[in-house]
Structure 1
């Protein structure tokens, strides 16, 4: 199993892997709130978002556990058999 976090900032969700990246993001979010507001880069894969975080910003961190499929091999794709697709209307 692999742990991830859903970091929800004002209803926008970012998926962050657990570990040092999440710890650093949490630290930056807290610092932004304490400083009265700052732009915080969100290191979510596939996004280049920077979010303005202020004392009134709604922030939730939800921890989720998902199965690790990276070590499993994918089954070979089966050829598509079209021989029976058109029999229903004959």
Structure 2
């Protein structure tokens, strides 16, 4: 079974309620974690220099709010377009 799950292969994202259980399954199968340190999302955000989601992209949010609420226009795709190099093309 170990050959089916290789450490260099990205596993699909797990729903939040399966993630803790998934770690137990991998340990049972003898597959070690890539890193022995476990962090919460907030700890990882601080460690790697990412803003708290509620504080991220404030300028873009303000521009979108003004565009939609003040001028009555539809939101633009600026955030999506900027994310495509990271997330891939969004069709």
- Same fold? TM cut 0.5: no
Q: Which has the higher helix share?
A: 2
Q: In which range does the TM-score fall when normalised by the shorter chain? A: under 0.3
Q: If the length of structure 2 is used for normalisation, what is the TM-score?
A: 0.27
The structure number with the bigger radius of gyration is: 1
Higher relative contact order (CA 8 A, sep 6+): 1
Q: If the length of structure 1 is used for normalisation, what is the TM-score?
A: 0.28
